[in-house]
Each structure stands twice: as C-alpha cells, then as structure tokens.
Amino acid sequence: MKRCCCIILLLFSSTMLCGQTQQRISVHDPVMIKQDSLYYIFCTGRGVSVWSSTNRVDWKREKPVLATAPAWTLTEVPNTKANDIWAPDISYEHGRYYLFYSSSVFGKNSSAIGLATNKTLHSDSPDFKWEDLGMVVKTIPGQDQFNAIDPNLILDEQGKPWLTFGSFWNGITLVRLSDDLKTVIDTKPWRIIAARSHNKNQPGSTAGSKAIEAPFLFKKGKYYYLFTSWDYCCRGPKSNYKIMVGRSKNITGPYLDREGVKLENGGGTLVLAGDKDWYGVGHNAVVSFDGIDYLVFHAYDASDNGRSKLRIEQLDWDNDGWPVLKIE
C-alpha cells in the first residue's frame, strides 16, 4: 500500500528539538542522513523529495533526486504514475551514497525497487550527480506474494549487505544483496521475517487485511531491531498507523517481541501510536548523531487538517534493551 506525495508548503508546529521550535515540513516516509554539517531528509514525492538543514530544525527544499522518471519504471511497472517515487532509503557505502526507492501502483503488488547513487549530497558540489542504476527487485501480480516497496539497506557484522522490504501480502521480506548492492543473490522463496494475517478472500494482486509495512533494521548492541508500521496511513483522522518492533541476535532472525512471540507469527511490541494530537504515526527510520539515537517518522497533525508532517524524536533504550521514546 501507499503513498501520498510530499506537499511543497512549509508547515509549522510548536514541538521542540533540543530546546528549539521545529519547522514541521510536510513529508511522507522520511529517512535522514548527515554529510559534513548538513542533514538531509529524503521522502516520498515526484522523483524523491529532498530537504536539507544545518540544525534539524529549519529545513530548505532541494531539487528532487530524479528529474524525470527512469525509463525502466514505465515499462516494468505498468500504470504507475510517472516519476511518483515512494519510500526512499539512503545509505553511505563504498565511498558513495546509495538511494533505494520504490515504484508501484497503489494498493497492488505491481511494484519494483530501484537504485540510484551519488558521490555527494551537496547540490553545489561539482561531483553532484545522481546516477540511476536501474531495477533491483520486482514483484509480479498473481505470481508473487510479496511486495517490492519500502526498501531498507543494512550491512551485517561481516559487512554483507541485506535489503529488507515489504508491504501487506505475506509480510516483510529479507534478501541478501551482491557486494555491489545492485542485485539480489538469494534464490526464492525468500525469507519472511515479519507478517500479519493475510485476507485470503482477496485476489493475490490486491492488498489484504492486517497491514504491516515499512521495515527498518537498526543494529544496537548485540541485537538487530526490526521496526515496522502496522495498520493504515494516509486516512487523515482515520489513520491508525503505529510503530512496532522486535529484535534478533541474527540478521536473518527469528525476530521476537518483548513477550517472545515471533514477528513472522504476528508478534510485535508497540513503540508509538497516534493520539488526539497526532494521527497515524509511522514509516520510521532510526539514525544516530553524536552518540544519540533518533526516531524519524511522519505523523498526521490534528491541528492542521491531518496534514502529514516530519517528526524527529530522541530514542532511548530501557534496562532490557528495548527502545523507548524521549519526547519533550
């Protein structure tokens, strides 16, 4: 399922970050990274929307990653909206920035994940140039029971790259990538590391009930933490998106929640749910700056007609090693 495009308007609220009022830019599916003194947000939008900031408080809109739709998206994903790119993921590996992104038809698993790279994120640099490397993963309606959207890259303790992705259907998928990050080297059937019940009365090309999507893997101490979003975004006051988590000592799982239930069997421990002020919180990333971890996600602002906005909150860990939010 997904997605709404980022809105160009600058939006504000009174939430604080390090004692400063945050500028609430409107985003969906944000991820964040830092290069030198600049922070960058990448999010769903035409060609992948980009914002930059010196302080994570005041944000400037940058040019999109892809000025025009990559030709392969128009042929491999029929009926997708031109250059409507969803749920990017940004990493720095091998001396380059790697941006995985999704092209999909809303509510169907006619979808694919692509990859673009750049030497730098600074648009004023002479080295700045996004190069699209094409398709990495594709799903075929009626044949595949996974969905190739919401990608997230992680390297294991041996430095081997893995890509997790997924939305609805059979759940969250994990595959091994080649060392150059360009291709999947696992053979099918692929690993399902988190799932909820699928509505078997729905045709295979249509998303069913018990929604789970937007995986993000984060290594902390001896555990890999798998964050996912449950239920539904993009419905204004009816959005009931929430962030769930499980963990494993092995990258391939099994991932367990706090009660010991496997995530592949429907387990999950709540990290954050919406309330009367913010509807449908979800599609999170986790980042670390100066030794502090942060949860980055979107939420629907009840005070502004349910518009989707950026939230960045400090993430702490309890005595048992489970993530807890520190919201001022």
Tokens representing 190 are 């692929």
Instruction: Determine if residue 148 is labeled as part of a ligand binding site.
Output: yes
Backbone angles phi and psi of 223, in degrees to 5: -115, 150
Stated as kind and residue range, the H or E segment containing 99 is strand 96-104
C-alpha dist (Å) from residue 54 to 11, 44, 57 = 18, 21, 8
Cα–Cα distance, 88 to 81 (Å, whole number): 16
Q: Residue 219's closest CA among 96, 91, 99, 30?
A: 91
Residues 6 or more apart whose CB falls under 8 angstroms from that of 54 comprise 37, 38, 39
Cα–Cα distance, 148 to 140 (Å, whole number): 9
Instruction: Determine if residue 103 is labeled as part of a ligand binding site.
Output: no
Instruction: Determine if residue 180 is labeled as part of a ligand binding site.
Output: no
| Secondary structure of residue 263 in the 3-state scheme | helix
Longest CA span, the chain: 54
Instruction: Determine if residue 168 is labeled as part of a ligand binding site.
Output: yes
- Tell the burial category of 217 from Cβ atoms under 10 Å away from its Cβ (0-12, 13-18, 19+): buried
- Contact by Cβ (8 Å): 166, 174: no
Angle at 53 between CA 287 and CA 224, to 5 degrees: 5
Unique residue bearing structure tokens 């830092």: 34
Beta strand pairing call for 111-118 and 45-46: unpaired
Instruction: Determine if residue 29 is labeled as part of a ligand binding site.
Output: yes
The residues assigned a catalytic role are 29, 213
Cα–Cα distance, 266 to 46 (Å, whole number): 34
Cα–Cα distance, 61 to 271 (Å, whole number): 30
Instruction: Determine if residue 127 is labeled as part of a ligand binding site.
Output: no
| Secondary structure of residue 75 in the 3-state scheme | helix
Instruction: Determine if residue 149 is labeled as part of a ligand binding site.
Output: yes
Instruction: Determine if residue 274 is labeled as part of a ligand binding site.
Output: no
In the annotated binding site for substrate, the residues are 29, 107, 147-150, 167-169
In the annotated binding site, the residues are 29, 107, 147-150, 167-169
